[in-house]
Amino acid sequence: MPAISQRARTLGTENAFVVLAEVNALQRQGRDIVSFCIGQPDFHTPKHIQDAAVDAIRAGRHGYTPSAGIVELREAAARNMSALRGVDIAPDDVVVAAGAKPFIGYSILSTTDHGAGDEVIYPNPGFPIYESQIRAMGAVPVPIALRESRGFNFDPDELARAITPRTKLLILNSPQNPTGGIIPRAQMEAIAEVLRRHEQIWVYADEIYARLVYDGEFVSIGAMPGMHERTIYADGASKTWAMTGWRLGFAACRALAPQFTNWITNTESCASQISQWAAVQALDGPQDEAIAMRDTFHRRRDLIVRLLNDVPGVTCQSPGGAFYAWPNVTEACRMIGAADSEVLRARLLHEAGVAVLADIHFGPRPDGEGQHIRFSYAASNAAIENGIARIADFIRRQTR
């Protein structure tokens, strides 16, 4: 048998998909599981967006497009992204891909060289694809700890200390997966202040949850003085318009747009033309359904945080955005004799019928940060009430 590359064998993954497979297997055996695993809206894509896709198919607009995307979508994305962030993005700065996710890899590929010792700083806990792509592209991962005491932000002094002459890219994510945390304006200004001292650093601003903010304001690093030219704004249709499976994302950066376009020519050729026409409607069409979905997430956030704080041994900050809750379960683990959050997660799945993810699915636990689990509250109120009641009963029953 020919050898499989070291790169492929050591490639990381998103454990949400691994746990989801476990949940599906249990459900096939007839087990009743309430699942909070997967980070995708549980709504249908709004009808006017569906109609735009059907129209595109019927009108024969389903062939290849330019790798950067159709002009209509690049224009719509440039308008929408500029207005949301208060920056000046031109249609030529925008590149369209099959989701926001591919831009993580394209950005690392475009800003670091394989095996050259180039470093990428990224949040821990964080979206697991950051670390796996940094490693796969032959760059050096440099995690920076998000601290519960700081509302799940990092200390800008820690950032300053993590930067070396080899640092090429900083990944920021606000609102954040998995904590739901938001980077407030004062923190963003402090980050920009540090970055202005290091001109060699690009910033990947993962802003896929930018329109799902419930407290305070969404602020982009690119809106800070001197940051726009070196910021890669990553955004897309998945979360705001319930379009995860349509695979449609867009990123903007004037200097790197030609590189991104070329990577896309080398890989996916272009995003689905049908999804691109649908995304034009998502961005330019009526927003009432998107707003209603956001308001529903907001109400669910309030519900799940209230219920979690009533569970013995659990405390949960109120996350400002996205659709994730990240409660501290250190005391709950102690109460039931679970060695850590991963043991608790497995017991919740098998003994209480509730599926969540553990903190270690989002990177190694930072020192002193305790145990956490992640809930995606893209689930109905009934599922939230039922699931949290099962957890509370389980902990009460098991407490030693």
Q: Which of residues 148, 206, 289, 369 is near ligand PLP by CB under 6 A? A: 206
Phi, psi angles (nearest 5°) of residue 167? -70, 125
CB of 75 to ligand PLP, least distance (A): 20
Calculate the alpha carbon distances from 150 to 112, 153, 174, 198 in Å: 30, 5, 14, 24
Q: Which residue lies nearer to ligand PLP by CB, 222 or 249?
A: 249
Q: Which residue is nearest to ligand PLP (CB)?
A: 99
> Helix, strand, coil: what percent of the chain each, to 5?
45, 15, 40
Check residue 141 and give left, alpha or beta (phi > 0: left; psi -120 to 50: alpha): beta
How many C-beta atoms surround the C-beta of residue 364 within 10 A?
A: 12
Binding track over 92-111 against ligand PLP, x by CB under 6 A: -------xxx----------
* Element holding 264 (H helix, E strand): helix 257-266
Q: Count CA within 13 A, CB hemisphere, residue 385.
A: 4
39 binds ligand PLP per the rule CB under 6 A:
yes
Q: Which residue lies nearer to ligand PLP by CB, 112 or 238?
A: 238
125 binds ligand PLP per the rule CB under 6 A:
no
The site for ligand PLP, by CB under 6 A, has a size of 13
338 binds ligand PLP per the rule CB under 6 A:
no
Nearest residue to 392 (alpha-carbon basis) of 308, 334, 325: 308
Q: Which residue lies nearer to ligand PLP by CB, 130 or 394?
A: 130
Binding track over 241-270 against ligand PLP, x by CB under 6 A: ---x----x---------------------
CB of 205 to ligand PLP, least distance (A): 11
Q: Which of residues 41, 156, 236, 327 is near ligand PLP by CB under 6 A? A: 236
CB of 238 to ligand PLP, least distance (A): 3
Tell the burial category of 185 from Cβ atoms under 10 Å away from its Cβ (0-12, 13-18, 19+). middle
Q: Count CA within 13 A, CB hemisphere, residue 399.
A: 11
179 binds ligand PLP per the rule CB under 6 A:
no
Phi, psi angles (nearest 5°) of residue 74? -65, -35
Q: Which residue lies nearer to ligand PLP by CB, 133 or 281?
A: 133
Give CA–CA dist 159/66, Å, rounded.
Answer: 38
CB of 102 to ligand PLP, least distance (A): 7
CB of 239 to ligand PLP, least distance (A): 7
Q: Which residue lies nearer to ligand PLP by CB, 236 or 285?
A: 236
Cβ-contact 359, 372 below 8 angstroms: yes
CB of 297 to ligand PLP, least distance (A): 14
119 binds ligand PLP per the rule CB under 6 A:
no
In the beta sheet, which residues pair with residue 358?
373
Which residues are near ligand PLP by CB under 6 A? 39, 99-101, 127, 173, 177, 206, 208, 236, 238, 244, 249
